[in-house]
Amino acid sequence: MIFRSVCVISIFFCGISFASQISSYKPIFIPFNDANGQLHIALRSFEQDGHPEYLIVSPDTLETEVKMATEIDLFLSKKVSEKRVSQSRFMRLVSSGEVRHSGSSVNGLFLTVDLCPSKKPFVREVITQLPSSEAPIPMAIAVTGVWLSQHAEDLVWLKRQASEGRVRVTWVNHSLSHPVKPDFMRSSGIVLEDEVLKNEQQMLAVGIVPSVFFRFPGLISSDILKVKLRDLHLIALGSDAWLAKGEVPKNGSVVLVHGNGNEPRGISLLMTRYLHKVDRWLELNKI
């Protein structure tokens, strides 16, 4: 089974390896309370450069982080309230099918930037033209494994913008290969678990932490695919404001543009109509 196989991810650019090795990667679901009594859920176990680690999520904030096994093994065997877990915000969103708009009244928009496979460089104006702010401006970046493997320089630049406080990035899994023909992820031979889990490994290998959101290529899915995604405890991220398609955002909308250079109309609309005129850009975890 693919979950039990040992997969080592090591990515090379220009003949130089700068990635970690991710192995023994598998999905798990272990709720636990930490030393402060805060509920977390371990979603993935793996080894990074030979060290056992977990990808965990706070079901209240939706924040994900990587923790060494030595930091949390002590807590994993302790019983937690099943009701508390099932009624958490995270589990409600996982079960919702797809998130396209905020489920509560908010003042602002959620900016999501897709990085589908492309030979063109990242459209850096999406970040360099952001309004000035003392706090990092939130942005969700949906990244594919193919894009990661071909855009090392852009990735380094994006990570630097985040580390310098220009943006606060939520990294969204957008599949490993971004299948398109003949029917996106619904195409024959496409294994959702491979597309999801192998891209998570690639994201971790290059030093970015996957969020609990997954965006289907083309926003095309099916009931069966959504059930499989739910079984991996991920939230399907849609959009009700794909700018290049003429969809007009309203308060709480998930705005979609492509930062891979392949959809200039959406970028143009973002720059001229929204980037500097929206009162507030919202962090995706607040949806």
% of the chain with per-residue pLDDT over 90:
89
* Cα→Cα distances 278→208, 237, 268, 270, Å: 28, 21, 15, 10
Task: Give the tokens for residue 127.
Answer: 């970040």
Q: What is the pLDDT of residues 40-59, one digit of tens each?
A: 999 999 999 999 999 999 99
How far, in Å, CA of 265 to CA of 227, rounded? 33
* Cα→Cα distances 10→20, 49, 136, 172, 207, Å: 6, 10, 31, 20, 12
For residue 110, count CB atoms less than 10 angstroms from its CB and return exposed for 0-12, middle for 13-18, buried for 19 or more: buried
How far, in Å, CA of 266 to CA of 255, rounded? 10
Task: Give the tokens for residue 248.
Answer: 């007009």
Running DSSP on this structure, what letter comes out for residue 228? H
Query: Would you say 71 and 53 are in contact if contact means Cβ atoms under 8 Å apart?
Result: no
E strands in the chain: 12-13, 16-17, 22-33, 39-48, 51-57, 64-68, 110-115, 137-143, 167-173, 213-214, 235-236, 241-242, 254-258
In this prediction the pTM is 0.93
Which among 285, 229, 218, 211 is positioned nearest to 256, based on CA atoms? 218
How far, in Å, CA of 119 to CA of 90, rounded? 35
How far, in Å, CA of 159 to CA of 150, rounded? 16
pLDDT, one tens digit for every residue, the chain (287 residues): 333 333 444 443 333 345 899 999 999 999 999 999 999 999 999 999 999 999 999 999 999 999 999 999 999 999 999 999 999 999 999 999 899 999 888 999 999 999 999 999 999 999 999 988 889 999 999 999 999 999 999 999 999 999 999 999 999 999 999 999 999 999 999 999 999 999 999 999 999 999 999 999 999 999 999 999 999 999 999 999 999 999 999 999 999 999 999 999 999 999 999 998 888 999 999 99
Q: What is the pLDDT of residues 249-270, one digit of tens each?
A: 999 999 999 999 999 999 999 9
* Cα→Cα distances 191→31, 87, 151, 205, 213, Å: 27, 30, 25, 21, 18
Q: In order of start, what are the domains of the chain with their CATH numbers? A: 12-90 (no CATH), 98-286 (3.20.20.370)
Q: Computed over its alpha carbons, how large is the radius of gyration of the chain?
A: 18
